[in-house]
Structure 1
Amino acid sequence: MEKLKYRIKNIGPGALVAAAFIGPGTVTTCIKAGAGYGYTLLWALLFSTIATMILQEMSARLGIISQKGLGENIREKVLSPVLKSITVVIIILAVFVGNIAYETGNLVGGALGINTIVPSVPVTVWAPILAALAFLLLWSGSYNRIEKVLIALVLIMSVVFLVTALMSRPDWGAVLKGLFVPATGKTGWMTVIGLIGTTVVPYNLFLHASSASERWKNVEDLKSARIDTVVSIGLGGLISMAIVVAASANLYGTGNQVANGADMAKAFNPILGSWSGLCLGIGLFASGFTSAITAPLAAAFATSGVLGFGKNMKDLKFKGLWIVVLAFGMVLSALGKSSPTQIILLAQAANAIILPVVALFLMYCMNHRGLGRYKNGALQNILGSVVIAVTLLICIRNLTSFFSSLFALV
């Protein structure tokens, strides 16, 4: 019992990662996947969850052994001035600028959840209020306080979506087939990269390394970090799968389109009836608010690391970075000119395209001799290379579709 209590007490940085990838984008993408393709794309989530565990374990190990974030490690270990400059530009564009778009979707998604419960107040009003709450929590500079809030919200999401999936009475044979027999349907590849992009999130590699170095200071803590990673990310993967299962059981084959919160609530109507809107609202709020906190935080960790600012959460330069991301997200969410679901879905696909690049930087750092016996072994390099190769092939296959969707949105 004492050992179990100790393990539970050490759940932390992995929960931050789970809180980060279970955002409005996950809810939206998974409901659309289930409604459009049934159980057939569950394999993509299974692959994504395993891939996330592999990469995030490397990230946490790097943070604990080096006591530095991924951004700082990249800055130190990439010695060529030209390559270092290119790397800094790529990370700032991919993580910092990209997170502004994610933050907009996070705030809109969280606000959409509250609007489902209190429809008299529009999304464009709730979004800035959520941004203000996120600002206060981040401004405190307390890692422990942020971690506790996010763990609580992840648990709320878990209960809402897992119970709903079980109550939907899915076809478990079809669920197993969807998990272990890869298929895409007729036009499912963009949804596949969306599911990968909403789970294996590039900025989480920066977030995990920095948060692990904040939480754990000794090599002996590696075991706790690995358990934290597997348990937290495994739970996050189960939540994503539960959303797909609920949407498949209740929406697939009905012809219902998923364009807004009301449409998404239909995935829960047969089970929860008049309570479906409330449950979806709670789930969207929890997922939106957790990601609204982690996205600016991860952008600050990544950018301050590669620019050499350090990772002190109470430093004004560090705070200035996340304030920019949060402020842009607040303004864009308050304007409410674009379709939230379109922006969210496109952001997930963009995530999957950026992922191989960031993962390559992580692999480079994890093979540096400075890590000694804690650098990657042969098996870890093989697993990491497989993840990068699969995501790269899927992304190359879908670049045309991605840019077509981007131009259509613009």
Structure 2
Amino acid sequence: MSSRRTKSGFIIAAAFIGPGTVTTASLAGAGFGFHLVWALLFSVLATVILQDMAVRLGFATRAGMSHALSNQIKNPLLRRGILLLVVCAIGVGNAAYESGNLTGAAIGLNNIAGLGIPIWSCLLGALAIVLLWLGQYRLIENVLVSLVAVMALVFVLTFAVSQPDWQQMAEQLFTPHLSADSLTTILALIGTTIVPYNLFLHASLVAQSEQESPHEASHYRRQSALAISTGGLITLFIVATAMQAFYGQSESLHAGNLARQLAPLLGDYAQWFFAVGMFAAGLTSAITAPLAAAYALTGALNKPADLRSPWFRGIWLCIILVGIGFSLTGTRPLVAILFAQAANGLLLPVIGLLLLYMMNFHPALGRLKNNWLANLGGVSVILLIVWLSWQKFA
């Protein structure tokens, strides 16, 4: 990497706004209007809090999160257990989710040129492989930041022409819902925003940047908060647009009718808006998911976290190829997805607690260690996520 500051925060925004986010936010807006926006706001705030810790950890230790965990946990049995959980949740999970990322982007492009979803998935997978194989961080960064800008433009314009009912949105915003019917959607909104692998990705990106002085940390922290907030705002626009199109309507929302049902709002341009938005969302996740897995797993396996190292390339290549394979067959790896969701559900509170521990006791942190406010925020986030999960599955 060159000495120029990186845009790592916007790569994280690109990572969490994928087809899953578009779908979940659309379902939230269609089914519950603005009554669940509180869950989105909590998710964005929680992501800012946790990613800020990851930024400071990567900056101070000059190592990825897997390396930091391995060095900080002295008990060998506990260390192996945590690293095994990382491998299972992030390695298996990202491989399972990659098919959805490629398929989501392919659905968008197929609405423009009907080559078929399998062909588009292969072409997009090949594009991701070429981009990552080149090993040029600036190129990857510029592509991802550009795609975030495209998503922002598409979804903001979509919302702007939807003639939003501001009064209804305000009323629903201040009458939040938390019920058995809405709990699944609430957890989905939280899960698609607070992504465990983004903590590993962010720490690694900051750790490998060329830092000229200790004061650079404040730049990356501000950038992280701004980028994540931007991603949250894009998600909010998706919720609002789906609310205008579907809330209170007799026909329910699903992937097959999203573009068609936007036609009353967007006219002949509905198909193009939907296609470009899904393409940008899918491609960003199709690139960042294998990239994050490579950083996390090379750290867990104590291998070089270098864009051009054989281990690094081998990990992300396997994940993309698995995603292409499932896309070609048209099947979803349900067992792997369920396993990954369970592992991620366990991983987030565990990693959150370990992150809090490291942010208070890691010797390299110095002035970057947590203060009482950061600790309060981190503990509150973890407790609320655990409580909501308990309410769902108890």
For normalisation by structure 2, the TM-score amounts to: 0.93
Question: CA, structure 1 residues 237+178, in 2 after alignment: closer, same or farther (shift >3 Å)?
Answer: farther
User: Is 2:268 aligned against 1:274?
Assistant: yes
User: Is 2:360 aligned against 1:367?
Assistant: yes
Long gaps (5+) in structure 1: 1-8, 401-410
Deviation (angstroms), 1:216: 4.4
- Percent identity, aligned pairs only, is 41
State the SS of the aligned residue for 1:240: helix
Deviation (angstroms), 1:184: 3.4
Aligned mates of 2:347, 2:268 — CA distance in 1: 40
Question: CA, structure 1 residues 343+43, in 2 after alignment: closer, same or farther (shift >3 Å)?
Answer: farther
Aligned mates of 1:256, 1:348 — CA distance in 2: 29
User: Is 2:231 aligned against 1:229?
Assistant: no
Long gaps (5+) in structure 2: none
* Alignment-derived partner of residue 51 in structure 2: 56
* Alignment-derived partner of residue 68 in structure 1: 63
Aligned mates of 1:151, 1:66 — CA distance in 2: 26
Aligned mates of 1:199, 1:47 — CA distance in 2: 10
Question: CA, structure 1 residues 70+154, in 2 after alignment: closer, same or farther (shift >3 Å)?
Answer: same
Aligned Cα RMSD in Å? Answer: 2.2
> Is the deviation greater in 360-369 or in 344-353?
344-353
* Alignment-derived partner of residue 329 in structure 1: 323
State the SS of the aligned residue for 1:150: helix
Letter in 2 for 1:88: L
* Alignment-derived partner of residue 349 in structure 2: 356
* Alignment-derived partner of residue 146 in structure 1: 140
Letter in 1 for 2:352: A
User: Is 2:118 aligned against 1:124?
Assistant: yes
* Alignment-derived partner of residue 177 in structure 2: 183
Letter in 2 for 1:356: P
State the SS of the aligned residue for 1:309: coil
State the SS of the aligned residue for 2:153: helix
* Alignment-derived partner of residue 20 in structure 2: 25
> Is the deviation greater in 32-41 or in 290-299?
32-41
* Alignment-derived partner of residue 285 in structure 2: 291
For normalisation by structure 1, the TM-score amounts to: 0.90
Deviation (angstroms), 1:267: 4.9
Letter in 2 for 1:170: P
Verify the 8 A CA contact 1:127 1:333 in the aligned structure 2.
yes
Verify the 8 A CA contact 1:127 1:334 in the aligned structure 2.
yes
Deviation (angstroms), 1:180: 4.8
Verify the 8 A CA contact 1:54 1:384 in the aligned structure 2.
yes
Verify the 8 A CA contact 1:37 1:185 in the aligned structure 2.
no
Verify the 8 A CA contact 2:86 2:347 in the aligned structure 1.
no
1:245-284 matched pairs, under 5 angstroms: 245-260=240-255, 262-284=256-278
Aligned mates of 1:70, 1:132 — CA distance in 2: 29
Deviation (angstroms), 1:343: 9.9
Aligned mates of 1:339, 1:281 — CA distance in 2: 24
1:91-170 matched pairs, under 5 angstroms: 91-119=86-114, 121-170=115-164
Verify the 8 A CA contact 2:246 2:253 in the aligned structure 1.
no
Verify the 8 A CA contact 1:116 1:281 in the aligned structure 2.
yes
How many aligned positions are there? 389
Deviation (angstroms), 1:351: 4.8
Deviation (angstroms), 1:169: 2.3
Aligned mates of 2:10, 2:338 — CA distance in 1: 23
Aligned mates of 1:96, 1:161 — CA distance in 2: 31
Verify the 8 A CA contact 1:193 1:352 in the aligned structure 2.
no
User: Is 2:315 aligned against 1:315?
Assistant: no
Aligned mates of 1:345, 1:71 — CA distance in 2: 24
State the SS of the aligned residue for 1:308: coil
Aligned mates of 2:161, 2:337 — CA distance in 1: 28
